[in-house]
C-alpha cells in the first residue's frame, strides 16, 4: 500500500488481494483520527471494507482508494478497472453474503457508482462529517 496524505485528502493504491480490506480500514481509521472525526471511524471502516472487498472480488484489478473531507462530508471512493457497475442485490435471506452494497446504502448519507472513460469505475460513499 502506498498512501499519499494531503491536508484533507488521502490516496492509496492497493493490490487486488483480501488483505487490502484491512489496509483500507487502517487508512480510514488514521484519517478519521487525523481529521478529528473519531465518531465516523467505525461506520467509515465498515463502508471502506465493503467497497474494497467488492472491488477485489468482482474486479480483480489494482485499486485506488481516496478519502476526502469536502462540504461537510467524509468521502470514500474506490476505483477499479472493471466496467461492471456496482448494483446492490437482494440475495436469498438464507444464503450468506451478497449484502455489502445494501449495508453501504444503509450506513452512508449517499453512495453511487460512476463509469469511467477508461473502462473502469469509481464506487463512492459519503458520510456527514459535520454531524460527527
Q: In the chain, where are the structural domains located?
A: 2-128
pLDDT tens-place string over residues 20-35: 999 999 999 999 999 9
CA 44 – CA 49 distance, rounded (Å):
8
pLDDT (0 to 100) of residue 87: 75
State the architecture of 2-128 in CATH terms: 2-Layer Sandwich (3.30)
What is the edge-to-edge ordering of all strands in the sheet holding 2-5? 2-5, 9-14, 63-70, 73-80, 121-128, 110-115
Range from 39-43, 74-78, 91-95, 116-120 carrying the lowest mean pLDDT: 91-95
Residue 13 has pLDDT above 50, yes or no: yes
Taking the C-alpha atoms of residue 79 and residue 13, their distance in angstroms, rounded to an integer, is 9
Considering only CA atoms, which of 81, 87, 77, 26 is closest in space to residue 52? 77
pLDDT at 52 over 80: yes
Q: Look up residue 117 and give its DSSP letter.
A: T
Q: 104: pLDDT confidence band, cut at 50, 70 and 90?
A: confident
The model's pTM is: 0.87
**More confidently predicted of 59 and 102:** 59
User: For residues 22-59, b (16+ Cβ closer than 10 Å) or e, as one string?
Assistant: ebbbebbbebbeebebeebbebbbbbbbbbbbbbbeeb
130: pLDDT confidence band, cut at 50, 70 and 90?
confident
**Alpha carbon distance 46, 48 (integer Å):** 6
pLDDT of residue 56: 95
Q: What is the pLDDT of residue 79?
A: 97
Distance CA 79, CA 128 (A): 21
Helices (H) and strands (E) in the chain, counts: 3, 6
* Listed residue (103, 115, 4) closest to 48, CA to CA: 103
Amino acid at each position: 500500500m502506498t498512501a499519499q496524505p494531503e491536508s484533507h485528502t488521502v490516496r492509496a493504491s492497493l493490490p487486488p488481494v483480501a488483505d487490502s480490506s484491512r489496509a483500507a480500514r487502517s487508512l480510514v481509521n488514521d484519517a478519521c483520527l487525523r481529521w478529528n472525526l473519531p465518531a465516523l471511524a467505525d461506520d467509515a471502516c465498515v463502508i471502506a471494507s465493503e467497497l474494497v472487498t467488492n472491488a477485489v472480488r468482482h474486479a480483480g484489478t489494482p485499486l485506488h482508494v481516496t478519502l476526502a473531507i469536502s462540504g461537510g462530508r467524509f468521502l470514500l471512493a474506490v476505483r477499479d478497472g472493471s466496467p461492471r457497475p456496482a448494483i446492490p442485490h437482494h440475495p436469498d435471506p438464507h444464503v450468506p453474503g451478497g449484502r455489502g452494497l445494501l449495508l453501504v446504502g444503509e450506513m452512508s448519507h449517499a453512495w453511487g457508482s460512476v463509469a469511467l472513460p477508461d473502462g473502469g469505475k469509481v464506487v463512492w460513499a459519503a458520510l456527514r462529517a459535520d454531524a460527527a
